[in-house]
Structure 1
Amino acid sequence: MPIRKPVPAVLPWLTALAAAPAVLMVAAVAATRFGGVDLSVSYDLLTWTVARMLGWIGLAGALVAMVLALRDIRGRGLYALAALVLAGATVAGFVERQGRDAAPTPRDVATNVEEPPAFSRSVAALHRGSIPAACDAVVAIPSQVLAQQATSALVDAGFVVTRATTFEVEAVHEGAWFGFVTDAVVRIRPGRTDIRVAARDPRPDGGATCRLAARIAGELAAAR
């Protein structure tokens, strides 16, 4: 029987290094959601500075692990493969999100930019000075929906309704990871129903505001 070469002590460490960014990001999310840590620390520093840097370092370490594994694929290959998958996925995720954030996507969108739906006074104060823009493929509903339909559409789109009248329904959405908050209002008029969605945070959102508006529009269209 061939004698299997011992696994170099550095291989498990290289694999752990590749996993470190993911572990740090999970910790950053937990610190934000349950520890009240400010986004400038958890998101800007820990995620987009430290974890992203660790991702590239982990990828370099994964390549070293691959070289070491060439001497004994059967005994060392699993460590190298795990390191490469973890580090590759992390770097790819950061690069993809960075590309989306670089695109000029609006954080305040409406289906009627000339006469956008208005938020309630307290919510409008959070978006003072913001000018709504249009999103591709997000259009007004060419009919007057019921307030109950607008409420259901917002709930199905992941929002929590905070105010509902016969002609306006307002809601709020909280992101699953870092809890970024987005406001939405549906305005109901004879022959037309308009939507406005606005993110509270000034950071690039990678098109999330437009996607939320499209989700609401899709739910409203399906309810007609």
Structure 2
Amino acid sequence: MNTLPLTESDLDRLEELLECEAFAGEAFRLDEIQALLCAVISGPQPVMPGVWLAEALGPGLENAAAAEVAETVELLMRLNNEIAQSLLADETVAPLLYPVDEGSDLYDFAAWADAYIVGANLGGDWYEQAGKHAEDLSELLEPLFLLNGMLKEDVENSGERWFAPAEEARLIADVQENLPLIVQTLYNFWRNKRGGGKVVAADEKVGRNDPCPCGSGKKYKACCGSPSKLN
């Protein structure tokens, strides 16, 4: 199997395949699959390809003998390997984003965040598996729930006050800009937990310009300390 990173033409072909008749409109978009894979690769437990492929492609995956389905699976496996290598190397992953509407200048970060949460759920209950670090994990995930609107919905349903529109827009713009770093930080959280490394608790004092305890080699403010600005 070809294990080379996907070229622009490969990505174009993958987009075309995801919209083919074999999947009957049930397959995720390419941006959503990228987000789902970022979560699947980052999580505490391995998620077998058969599980995430079924989620991403829907019932059309059952027609595995079809040439278009087989080609799609091969390209997705290459995408999976490419994302895994980037996250492992602390290179971050630039999100693939679609416009909210055709011709719009706004990008659909909400769909990307939604798909990431779907991918996280494929690996079991992240909060349960985070154990004593569940609160820290919650803080790291909070930016994604801000992007998909769930954080605002939960706050308003609880009767608490939400941010003023200008402040909300500022926070969302900040998360959008830092999304690759946020995703990398989540990967590093689970990597260190799996490897027995140090996971920084919220009440531990680490200077923002100190080296991040996760071992990434970056300053804390540019790594595990970045999402805390939302709290």
Same fold (TM over 0.5): no
The structure richer in strand per residue is: 1
Length-normalised TM-score, structure 2: 0.26
Instruction: Determine which structure has more spread, i.e. the larger CA radius of gyration.
Output: 1
The structure richer in helix per residue is: 2
